[in-house]
Every structure is written in structure tokens, then in C-alpha cells.
A and B are shown apart, each in its own frame.
Chain A
Amino acid sequence: MFKHLKFRDPNLTKRVIGKIREAAPKRDTVKICHVCGTHEWTITHFGLRSLLPQNVEVIAGPGCPVCVTPASEIDEAVQLALKGVVVTCFGDVLRVPGSEKSLLDAKAEGADVRVVYSALDAVKMAKKEPDKEFAFFAIGFETTAPSTALEVLKKPPKNLSFLVSHRLIPPAMELLLGIGDLHIDGFIAPGHVSTIIGLKAYEIFPKAYRMPTVVAGFEPLDVLFAIYMVLKQVKDNAARLENEYVRAVSWEGNVKAQELMHKAFKIVDGEWRGLGKLPSSAFKLREEYSEYDARERFGVKISHGRDLLPGCQCHLVMIGKIKPTECPLFMKACTPQKPMGACMVSMEGTCSIWAKAINT
């Protein structure tokens, strides 16, 4: 859809690149950070970095929901599965390492772990097999959280519970700004998270941090225009909140989805893989729905996990501190076929995206 609308028009692309070159500063480096796996995919797949002036750097922040899930929460899912609960999860989650085991390891040991496409699939499965206990491992940012909230509020079958591991994007962006030597000059905010939370959720970045922030879509031209919009702000020494993705993102966002999330969840501090605990960065089921909380129903709680195997630099890749190619394990001990770190496991992980681009 919209294809005939020329979102990949070569002539337009050439012209935008020309504008980017003009807007880029002559000497200083500009570092633009995006926080979305799909943005990284667009940038890498279409080779957009190679079109930019050398002093314009685009780095990938913690925008892969699977990658940021701490080992302790994978451990909880593994523990549930080994206790005989049927664990349902998105496909990307299966191979993500926990402290000792992944969900795939648990499955190999005989646990019933099933891949689902949506929360609704988990509900349907639980209804179909009322004699078994099911848990849905609810991972993802604000794009995914509303569907979990919806299913919780719809009174799920009694034999279904939820292992809620949702994370929020704005606190992760704040974390990046707190890292002293990262020196970000502007943000490209994630388009699909923004369809839910709206432009207003990023107001704090230009206001409190004087950080140019542009919400962008996922076509190559969307991303190039967003880079241009950030560069213009940097050039003008301005810090504004701008919306490149107006066809999908409004100021308020999806209010209905926000209400559902607010009704089902409260905001709590959340652990991020390799990054520690970020204040007000995770969702937890509210007390009135605690009967659907898998952690409470089955008494699983793991507070400490081993997030990184020796040598793994996923935590530095996730904050854009290093490129995947700067990790000593990249494409040596850690490959898409045999990943060691979460960034290589998930299709949205920066290492996996780079590995595939190298191999194609």
C-alpha cells in the first residue's frame, strides 16, 4: 500500500541526500541515535549510512525488545516451563539466553513451549486445552503492551496467566542521555511505539534536555528525512519535537490503547539486560489482576540473572557505544547460527541485522 506514492522514489532520495550534505556541519561530528530495531533494519538493509557525510553518525540505541529482556525474566519463563506450565511466546524469544538455559533448551528437555503470533493465539490455545496451565510471556515495548492489556481485561480463561515483561521506550532514551561520554546530538524516535504513545510522550527531550527529537516512519525516505530534520535543528542550534510520520502518529497517540494499558498495568522500575535497573521503565499487572500474574500464581521470582556471557558486548551495542563489528565475538564466536548474545538472536537485534547485511 502507498507504494505508488513514491516513498522510495530515487529522485527524491538523491535530493534529500543532497540536503543532508548541505545541512551537515563542516567539521564537527553529529551523532544521531534511533531506538528501534526496524529503523536499524531500514538503515542497514538499504545501506543508508554509506550515503551520509562521514561526520554524520547514526547509532542504534536499546530498541530491540527481545534484546533488552534481562536473563532473570527468561529464567522465570524457563522455570515456569519446567514446572509444567505451557509457555507461549513470540518466536524471537525462544533462543534468547537466560542465565543457564533458553526456552528452546527447556523445550529440548521436554517442556511445552509454543510459539505464538499474538496474545490472542495464547488465549485461543488455553481455551482449547482447559486441562493445562498456560502462560503468555508478554515481551515488547508500547507497541505490544496494549494487546496484552486488552487480553487481560477481556477476562482470559482461568488456565491462562501472563508473565509480563513489557518495557517503556522514553526511560531508555533518558538513560542514553545520562551516559556521559555518548554525546548524542539528536534522537530519531520509534514510529510504531509513537503510534501508541503519541508525539507528546517525547516533549521532555527538547524541553528538559534540549535534544532535537524527530519521530520517523520506516521507509528509507522516512529515515533520511528524519536525519535531515535533526541536522537542520542542530544547524539552527534548536531543539524541537518534530513529526516526520504524520500518516500514522498524532500528538495524542492511540488514546484507547493508552487507557487499556493504564487500566491493566502500573509502571514500575525495570531491569534491562546488561544495563541495570531503569526507574519507571516497565509494566506490571495491577493488584486487581494479580490472579493472572504468572509470577504470583506459580511463585516464580528470580531477582538476579547472568545477562552476558564472557566477552559478550551486547550491553555496549545496545546503547550505541560500540558497533557490532567492534565486539570481539561478532561473527567469530557469535553468529546468527550460533548466537551468544541477545543482540545476535533477535531479528531486531543490531548484531543480527548487521550479520545478515554482511552475508547478503
Chain B
Amino acid sequence: MMCLAIPAKVVSVQGNVARVDFGGGIIREVDISLVEVKPDDYVLVHAGYAIQVLSREEAEETLRLWSELLETEEKLERNNI
């Protein structure tokens, strides 16, 4: 699938190639020319190429913001009632 990109963890880097772990014991080599990565980084892999580095902090932040947003709004509503 061409829109599909799968997150993976970088295991090791050698030149323009990285070994990445997709989880479940699936380890593959991908081209990392389009990104700057080091071991333990998370990347989005699309058709054999890492296209972006994923931010773990931002992922956690997204969830925190979601919960916060819902809580704030729910609190506001309760106060209105």
C-alpha cells in the first residue's frame, strides 16, 4: 500500500542503511537517506525507506493533550449545568 507507512525502531545504522524492528520479531533493512537517525529512534517506514523520525515525546504529548482537552471541556460543561 502506497499511503501506508509503518512505525519501526532503529536497531543499528550502517551508512545509508538501518536495521529496524517492526515488532513481533520482524527486523528489516531500510534506506535512511531521507532522515537523520540513530539507534533507538523511531521512524516511519514507507516502501523500504524511512521517511520521517517519530517523536516519542510528541506521541505522549498528544495523548496528554487529548485527555486534558476532554477533561477541561467536561469540567466546563459540568459547571454550566
Contact = CB atoms under 8 A, between A and B. Distances in A.
Nearest to B7: A1
Contact of B5 (A15, A119, A192): A192
Interface in A162-180: none
A247 B5 contact: no
A121 interface: yes
Contacts of A120: 31, 48-49
Interface in A1-23: 1-2, 5-7, 12, 15-16, 19
A221 B21 CA distance: 24
Nearest to B53: A248
Contacts of A221: 66
B3 A118 contact: no
A234 interface: no
A1 B8 CA distance: 7
Contacts of A192: 3-5, 44, 46, 51
A97 B66 CA distance: 44
Interface string A333-349: 00000000000000110
Interface residues of B, number: 35
A260 B35 CA distance: 12
A143 B49 CA distance: 10
Contacts of A61: none
Contact of B70 (A19, A118, A144): A19
A141 B51 CA distance: 13
A139 B2 contact: yes
A65 B4 CA distance: 11
Contact of A248 (B8, B54, B70, B74): B54
B1 A347 contact: yes
A147 interface: yes
Given A65-B2, A221-B66, A347-B1, A2 B59 contact: yes
B58 A246 contact: yes
A116 to B, nearest CB: 9
B48 A247 contact: no
A105 interface: no
B66 A12 contact: yes
Nearest to B59: A247
Given A143-B46, A248-B44, A256 B5 contact: no
B27 interface: no
A274 interface: no
Contacts of B51: 143, 146, 192, 195-196, 254, 257
A150 interface: yes
Contact of A63 (B3, B49, B56, B60): B3
A118 B8 contact: no
Interface of A: 1-2, 5-7, 12, 15-16, 19, 36-39, 63-66, 90, 92, 117-121, 139-141, 143-144, 146-147, 150, 190, 192-193, 195-196, 221, 225, 244, 246-249, 254, 256-257, 260, 347-348
12 contacts: A1-B9, A2-B42, A5-B59, A150-B34, A192-B4, A192-B51, A195-B44, A196-B51, A196-B52, A246-B55, A247-B61, A348-B2
Q: Which 10 A-B pairs have the closest CB atoms?
A: A118-B48, A195-B52, A247-B58, A247-B59, A38-B3, A147-B49, A140-B2, A192-B5, A246-B58, A118-B47
